[in-house]
Amino acid sequence: MLKEPPLDTQEWASSGSVGVFSSQTKEPEKGGCMETKAKLKILIDLEKQNRLNAEGCLACGHKFNLGDEVVLARGKWQGFKFIHEGEAIFDQGSDVYYERKYYQTIKGV
C-alpha cells in the first residue's frame, strides 16, 4: 500500500484554498445582512404613522412623516422600537440596528 495523501492535501491547501475560501465566505454573509436589514426596515404609511406617532421617534423626539424610512432598533429603551433610519447604526455582529448614541455608549466609541 502506498500512502500519498499528505502531498495532495498540502498542494490543495496552499494553492486552492486562499482564493476559493475568501470568495465563498464573503457572499452568503453579505446576503444575510442585506436580508436582515431589509426585514427591519419599513416605510411609514398612514396606518403606521397613526400607530407609531403615539410616542413618536424615541431617538430624536420628532413625529414620523409619511414616507419616512424607519428601522426597528435597540436603544436606551426596552426591547425594539421604530426610529428614523438615519439615527440608527446596523451592527453586523449581532444583526440588529442600534440607536447611534446608545451604540456609541455600549461600544465605548
59 binds Zn ion (CB under 5 A): yes
**Shortest CB 21 distance to Zn ion, Å:** 41
**Does residue 88 sit in helix, strand or coil?**
strand
CA 34 to chain centre: 7
Cell numbers standing for residue 71: 428601522
CA distance linking residue 97 with residue 11, whole number of Å: 43
CA 67 to chain centre: 21
Specify the stretch interacting with Zn ion by CB under 5 A; choose among 42-50, 70-78, 83-91, 100-108. 83-91
**Shortest CB 100 distance to Zn ion, Å:** 10
60 binds Zn ion (CB under 5 A): yes
CB neighbour burial string for 38-58, b if at least 16 within 10 angstroms, e if fewer: eebbbebeeebeeebeeeebe
Specify the stretch interacting with Zn ion by CB under 5 A; choose among 3-11, 39-47, 52-60, 99-107. 52-60
57 binds Zn ion (CB under 5 A): yes
**Shortest CB 57 distance to Zn ion, Å:** 3
**Shortest CB 37 distance to Zn ion, Å:** 18
By CB under 5 A, name the binding residues for Zn ion.
57, 59-60, 84, 87
